Structure 1
Amino acid sequence: MTRAVIYARFSSDIQRHASIEDQLRVCRARAEREGWTVIEEFTDHAISGTIIQRPAYQALMAAIVRRIFTEFLAGRSPRHIAQALNAEGIPSPGGAIWYDSSIRGRPGRNDGLLRNPLYAGRLVWNCRRNTKEPFTGGRVRKPNAETELVTHAVPDLAIIDPPLWQVAQNRLRREAAVDPTAAATPPTGAGFWQRRRPRHLLTGKVGAACVAAASPARGRTTWPASSSAAPPSPGSSPRRRSRCPGSRRTSPASTRPPSTT
């Protein structure tokens, strides 16, 4: 069963209030044709679409936020949630499509929908600072220490119950395999790379007979198997492929049949 919500709006007092009913009637008819179940309707009267602080629109976005948290706590991944929202034509708060990163965010930076403490009724300031790069002169944004954050309770703005928000944070930390107090850097622990999906069906399962181990998936902490070379040192470039000892690489010209002329 596909569930749907309806949002209707008209911009100014010059327009008729009946336009709201016209929009609702058209949307209800479309839902009936498609076999969708309308679970709620939202309407804004005499408010421009350029204003994001529309009461009904904000209520609609709150319903989407609750849905994302509910599905995440039920075990769905941010990627699957983003795919479902895009398939249903539900835009992100900025009007664009949803991405895995816009839902999951990055560890240590408190960005992304699931990491936003405002949804749990906490407003946080002074999260980042701007510094000047001495060599390039460019501006760089860096996270402040946790002791420098300024937090203010705003329970009236809470969309998610704080205990449920904390459960979501615990899952995010387990999946990222990083310390929540660590610096705002990409995940460096092995857990993230070990749990990622293989790109191909036989990734990590097939290897040459002369190689002792199967060819693992390439990643931050995994390297292609090789029977003649030791594991590369930290900081070196990853090996692109592994070959059996004594094998020769033939050129396309050497594989052509001999000329008969």
Structure 2
Amino acid sequence: MRVALYARYSSDNQRDASIEDQFRICRALAEKNGWQIVACYSDRAISGTTLLRPGIQDLMAQARAGQFDIVLAEGLDRLSRDQEDVAGFYKRMKFADVKIETLSEGKITSLHIGLTGTMNAEYIEKLSKNTHRGLRGRIEHGKSGGGLCYGYDVLKLRDAEGERICGERAINNEQAQIVRRIFQDYANGKAPKAIALALNAEGLRGPLSGAWGPSTLNGNRERGTGILNNELYIGRLIWNRLRYLKDPVTKKRVSRLNPESEWVIQDVPELRIIEQDLWEAVKARQSKTTWSQKSRGTGTHPLNALQRPT
């Protein structure tokens, strides 16, 4: 029997050696059963909640091509943690006449798919809640909930016991000067596109070392995105403004705005970059020149009624 091995890890607490460990114990089982290993597939540092992984996609393509008879993994959760995806994977393998074996569950049947899929879904939901609770506690102490923010540096600190201290950040003075310039130029009447073009012409890199664009500055007022809407610049940390859901069709994460009552707000004056009068001047201009979701209600933009000349 021809067998393909699959291994995956996603946690920061795991490392590349985890892949080799998984392959090693899978090889031992394959040799014990007299199976011929014809391929090895892996996905490193990628979540198991999606099948949009290069390793698993390659495995499924080769299964359809009849390149092996068995898929062998350490556990079903290595293949997928998503209830719908694991069922879909099982159907694809069954159609390709490929059996699934794991060290944890043995030969996979439809019963495993139902029970293990449900358990994995419960695990993901519990993990999400625990992570959310931990981040909330960090925010309430005025620390970062994760992610990068232009104008600040993430501090890599450790306590007396050598444990990593998470959530600490400090103002990046060079980037802070650019943030102040953006706010001042906008308050003085300069268009976001013109501001972005000027920054790019001077070789000043934007967030994530990318180029500046109008959307980088404008973002979305209601969602608090974009340089001109980031309240951290006035020493106000807002967390849980957005929640993220996975689109069941595209499998991509999309954001949804949470009710304001669910936001967690903490004052962090030590992180202020923009003075209040400048912030208010920017907000005043935005109210006159940008289109707000709140102000439009359920209607359509007034310019939508204009007809193209014929």
**TM-score for both structures, normalised by structure 2:** 0.42
Return the structure number with greater strand share. Answer: 2
Which structure has the greater CA radius of gyration?
A: 1
**TM-score for both structures, normalised by structure 1:** 0.49
Return the structure number with greater helix share. Answer: 2
